[in-house]
Chain A
């Protein structure tokens, strides 16, 4: 069984049931994990920032860096492998923040908002979510079973 590791500003899709996709150490970044149980296609995105207008050149070179370029690319890449939007299960995690009363460092919250807005305007429902708060998370999808897992820093791996 191969573990496909998804780094920061990276996304992977696969239809190989022997694959597991995993992304580590989500802080303020967000993981969007999708799976189509009929086509048996899954994908995992680890984006870092909410808005690609920050840097158009970077968005072109590394679309998975931003919510508004990474999420559409994740879905399109899954469609190419036979996934259908109506069947896709969508689970998300991350968007944590440090303890910050000034709100200057609230990139985690901005990442959550950007994702919600995008899903809302595209009629995508989130099936499960573990976002916010102030701890790191690891997200894993098992393409053999279509199950999603989450591990919070210092905790155990649990189903999401």
Chain B
């Protein structure tokens, strides 16, 4: 991997990882944390508070009377949904554009949410407890695209030629033409943001979990969820299906082809219920700030 100076400059120019999200992630991983602590952290972030109230008051939760404070919102939504809403409102800001992949900002975010939901569906299918690290890794798996997109855009034709004629995967083509692929670059960003190792690896190897010697389940679940969302065409660009299947995910998780189909059918329903999470990006754009 050789990251050139311009790319390094771009990743250093990314906004710092939101402090509120970092605190919330820590609380989410701590089984002893209380709702009071969660409220205390969230309350100080106005943008996140506003988003939580909006999501809580959406038709998805079907409340009779609108909720106007974080405390009540958490009572109604439950801790798990609040965590998702916090992550979504804090992280969606990074996914506004990914020039080069021919995918709009809103679609890139939709893909992020879809992979996160699919990761939870996969976790349930293989009877693995749902944890917030999986959700974080899945939401952020393509964060490298946000930076690499600019460089993919410049070398678009070369990458496309390699993908079309030489049977390169998109990942290999990025690496050959630009020197680094979007997954590895995502890992570099996760390093700057001081993410736990498990999340960093799941991001950096989300197309190649087979390269991880200590292949952790989180990496494989993110890989599988992402492949399925690519196949379904959810929020993907020119790179859509130009990725390689690796390793034996079927054997590892004891999954049959029919399980894949069932998970795809389930995701279709989950996405309908998650419209509010998905719409966060486009609405921020319309109001011209965020």
Contact = CB atoms under 8 A, between A and B. Distances in A.
Contact of B244 (A9, A29, A99, A135): A99
Contacts of A96: 240-241
B125 to A, nearest CB: 14
A48 to B, nearest CB: 6
Q: How large is the interface on A (under 10, 10 to 19, 20 to 34, 35 or more residues)?
A: 35 or more
Interface residues of B, number: 31
A2 interface: no
B46 interface: no
Given A54-B262, A97-B241, A102-B245, A8 B231 contact: no
Interface string A73-99: 000000000000000000000001111
A25 B265 contact: no
Interface string B154-173: 00000010000001010000
A98 B243 contact: yes
B241 A55 contact: no
Contacts of A110: 257
Nearest to A27: B233
B250 A134 contact: no
Given A28-B231, A97-B241, A134-B241, A104 B249 contact: yes
B68 interface: no
Contacts of B217: none
Given A99-B245, A100-B244, A136-B241, A108 B231 contact: yes
A48 B236 contact: no
A154 B232 contact: no
Given A54-B262, A54-B265, A62-B268, A102 B233 contact: no
Contact of A25 (B160, B236, B248, B250): B236
B19 to A, nearest CB: 36
Contacts of A48: 232, 264-265, 268
A125 B188 CA distance: 52
B248 A27 contact: no
Contacts of B231: 27-28, 97-98, 105, 107-108
A112 to B, nearest CB: 14
A118 B267 CA distance: 26
A150 interface: no
Listed from nearest, the 9 A-B pairs whose CB atoms lie closest are A25-B233, A100-B245, A27-B233, A136-B240, A28-B231, A134-B241, A99-B244, A154-B238, A153-B238
10 contacts: A27-B236, A99-B167, A99-B243, A100-B244, A100-B245, A110-B257, A136-B241, A153-B237, A154-B160, A154-B238
Interface of A: 8-9, 24-29, 48-51, 54-55, 58, 62, 65, 96-102, 104-108, 110, 134-136, 153-154
Interface of B: 102, 160, 167, 169, 227, 230-234, 236-238, 240-245, 248-250, 257-258, 260-262, 264-265, 268-269
